[in-house]
């Protein structure tokens, strides 16, 4: 068997993301004695950067388009090869029994729905057949390319994320026990072979406990106070704070996500809903029976992402004739002061709720749930979910004071330790913000020289088994 000496760089990165992460993987490759690097995408701006150019000379560089056989390059031929299978598979795609599939099919199934929904228009409840067919084709094409790359002695894959068709791509290598690292939220993390992970899930309990043990409570509380005032390190939270309208009369709040932004970085097979749409549709059907008024809070970054979430929420409310539900776009953490119930899929609102003394209802597991299952309600079935939402017992949803600090610790980890954004001088970017992508590159490039030693250190740590990159503050903690 030939020695695996090749690193593959998947092509979905923004230029600014690729710039800093390449420094990490150059050092990782040096430590692992990797000699070859294959780029899926030729990002001229990054590859001509003087710092990157100097490092590239140490490796044999190839580009995917130069090594692919003709039948994988020609789109028409790919259609001929894959279209029959696409049509065949299209008859088997359903949201029912999604948790009964084997691991690889489960990854592919979600990748197809993720991709299809992202390609659809706002307000789409189920992708049109043409969009579904296109999504299946894109995912099959990615898998076909991945299977070709298996012949290239791949040691490690470095992917821009683990959703949409990239999840299908990654699954091919994971099945073969080839190293797969992903990027998300300014973090690089390793995917286990047959279990999903996320940038902040920290299924690596040893690392999580080590970090939590070293945290100083005074730093945790100080950061929480800054976050509460809209001065933390998490962009979405700060953006929400700028929308200063406070609703002190709100008692019941459903915190929405961005519908077309995939929630499936890490798949939780035990969740009770397939996706955001099924969750909200069923929730509205339940709330229609409630005697109380409920508020749905639009995600603060929906517009930046490129979505008008109101379209789908209004449609579902109207279809179910639920007159006791109101939509709000403004507001921030201070809205939680008088709340008694908070419902969210799995996002940061659950951490904030516990920090405010409220035990939230969540659908999919997150690091808060993984750390302490008593901090949230995660229903095991639809019956339990309905009972919790309609339950008229405020005390049931209060968190013990001695446990509130645990949520604040997890927020500190997420926003200060598990992301490199502040160290890199990076800004948050969403798919609809072209000008900010240019600005982000300039900002990161301006500080890249000062960060070289730090980034190379991270590459070395990853090569030695660290599963997640850590901020400078995080590195100090584990040292």
Q: Cβ contacts of residue 18 below 8 Å, gap of 6+? A: 9, 43, 46
pLDDT at res. 229: 78
Query: Does the pLDDT of residue 452 top 80, yes or no?
Result: yes
Report the C-alpha gap between 64 and 302 in whole angstroms: 34
What pLDDT shows up at residue 309?
A: 86
The lowest-confidence range among 74-88, 245-259, 402-416, 434-448 is 245-259
pLDDT at 207 over 70: yes
Cα–Cα distance for residue pair 181/190, rounded to 1 Å: 4
Higher pLDDT pick, 467 / 335: 467
Is residue 193 scored above 90 in pLDDT? no
Nearest to 38 by CA among 168, 150, 176: 150
pLDDT over threshold 80, residue 338: no
The whole-number average pLDDT for the span 375-380 is 96
Asked if the model's pLDDT at residue 243 lies above 60, the reply is no
pLDDT of residue 336: 66
pTM of the complete model: 0.91
Q: Is the CB of residue 169 less than 8 Å from the CB of residue 148?
A: no
CB 203 within 8 A of CB 182: no
- What is the predicted pLDDT for the residue at 160? 95
Instruction: Read off the pLDDT band of 401 (50, 70, 90).
Output: confident
Q: Please count the other Cβ atoms lying within 10 Å of the Cβ belonging to residue 338.
A: 13
pLDDT tens readout for residues 141-154:
999 999 999 999 99
DSSP string, 227-265: HHTT-SS-HHHHHHHHS----TT--EEEE---TTS--TT
472, 36 Cβ separation under 8 angstroms: no
What is the structure's pLDDT at 153?
A: 92
pLDDT (mean) for 133-144: 96
- Type and span of the H or E element at 63: strand 60-63
The string of pLDDT tens digits covering residues 43-85 is: 999 999 999 999 999 999 999 999 999 989 888 999 999 999 9
Q: Shortest CA distance to 373 belongs to which of 385, 353, 352, 359?
A: 359
Confidence band of 408 (pLDDT split at 50, 70, 90): very high
- Calculated CA dihedral for residues 236, 241, 242, 247, nearest 10 degrees: 130
Report in angstroms the alpha-carbon separations of 32 from 171, 231, 283: 22, 40, 49
Average pLDDT over residues 327-332: 74
Say which residues have a Cβ less than 8 Å from residue 447's Cβ, sequence separation at least 6. Answer: 424, 425
According to DSSP, the residues that pair with 154 across neighbouring strands are 6
Angle, alpha carbons 54-15-69 (nearest 5°): 85
Report the alpha-carbon distance of residue 17 to residue 50 in Å, rounded: 16
- pLDDT higher than 70, residue 159: yes
Q: What is the pLDDT of residues 255-296, one digit of tens each?
A: 988 888 887 888 888 899 988 999 999 999 999 999 899 999
Average pLDDT over all residues of the chain: 89
For 307-335, the DSSP string reads: --THHHHHHHHHHHT-TTEEEE----GGG
The pLDDT assigned to 180 comes to 97
pLDDT above 90: percentage of residues in the chain = 63
Share of the chain above pLDDT 70, in %: 94
Three-state DSSP at 271 gives: coil
Compare 239 and 354 and report the one with higher pLDDT.
354
Q: Looking at the predicted structure, is the pLDDT value of residue 387 above 90?
A: yes
CATH number of 207-417: 3.40.50.2000
Q: What ranges make up the beta strands (E) of 112-192?
A: 154-159, 179-184, 187-190
């Amino acid at each position: 068997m030939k020695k695996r000496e090749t690193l593959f760089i998947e092509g979905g990165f923004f230029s600014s993301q690729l710039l800093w992460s390449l420094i990490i993987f150059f050092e990782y490759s040096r430590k692992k004695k990797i000699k070859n690097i294959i780029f899926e995408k030729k990002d001229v701006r990054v590859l001509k950067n003087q710092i990157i150019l100097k490092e590239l000379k140490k490796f044999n560089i190839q580009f995917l388009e130069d090594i692919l056989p003709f039948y994988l390059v020609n789109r028409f031929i790919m259609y001929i090869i894959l279209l029959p299978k696409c049509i065949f598979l299209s008859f088997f795609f359903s949201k029912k029994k999604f948790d009964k599939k084997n691991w690889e099919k489960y990854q592919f199934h979600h990748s197809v729905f993720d991709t299809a929904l992202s390609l659809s228009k706002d307000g789409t409840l189920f992708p049109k057949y043409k969009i579904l067919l296109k999504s299946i084709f894109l995912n099959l094409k990615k898998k076909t390319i991945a299977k070709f790359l298996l012949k290239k002695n791949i040691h490690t894959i470095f992917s821009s994320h683990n959703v949409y068709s990239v999840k299908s791509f990654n699954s091919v290598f994971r099945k073969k026990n080839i190293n797969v690292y992903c990027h998300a939220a300014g973090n690089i993390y390793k995917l286990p072979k047959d279990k999903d992970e996320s940038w902040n899930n920290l299924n690596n309990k040893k690392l999580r406990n080590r970090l939590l043990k070293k945290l100083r409570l005074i730093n945790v509380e100080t950061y929480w106070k800054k976050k509460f005032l809209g001065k933390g390190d998490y962009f979405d939270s700060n953006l929400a704070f700028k929308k200063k309208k406070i609703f002190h009369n709100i008692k019941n709040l459903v915190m929405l996500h961005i519908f077309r932004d995939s929630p499936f970085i890490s798949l939780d097979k035990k969740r009770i809903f397939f996706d955001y749409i099924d969750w909200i549709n069923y929730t509205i059907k339940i709330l229609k029976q409630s005697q109380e008024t409920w508020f749905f809070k639009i995600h603060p970054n929906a517009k930046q992402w490129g979505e008008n979430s109101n379209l789908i929420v209004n449609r579902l409310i109207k279809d179910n004739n639920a007159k006791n539900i109101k939509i709000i776009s403004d507001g921030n953490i201070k809205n939680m002061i008088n709340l008694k119930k908070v419902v969210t899929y799995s996002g940061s609102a659950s951490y904030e709720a516990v920090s405010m003394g409220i035990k939230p209802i969540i659908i999919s597991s997150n690091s808060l749930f993984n750390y302490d299952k008593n901090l949230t309600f995660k229903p095991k079935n639809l019956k339990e979910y309905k009972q919790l939402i309609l339950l008229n017992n405020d005390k049931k949803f209060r968190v013990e004071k001695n446990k509130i600090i645990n949520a604040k610790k997890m927020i500190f980890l997420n926003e200060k330790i598990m992301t490199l954004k502040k160290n890199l001088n990076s800004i948050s970017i969403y798919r609809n913000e072209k000008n900010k992508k240019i600005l982000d590159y300039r900002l990161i490039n301006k500080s890249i020289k000062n960060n070289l030693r730090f980034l190379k250190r991270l590459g070395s740590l990853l090569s030695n088994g660290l599963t997640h990159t850590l901020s400078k503050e995080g590195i100090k903690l584990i040292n």
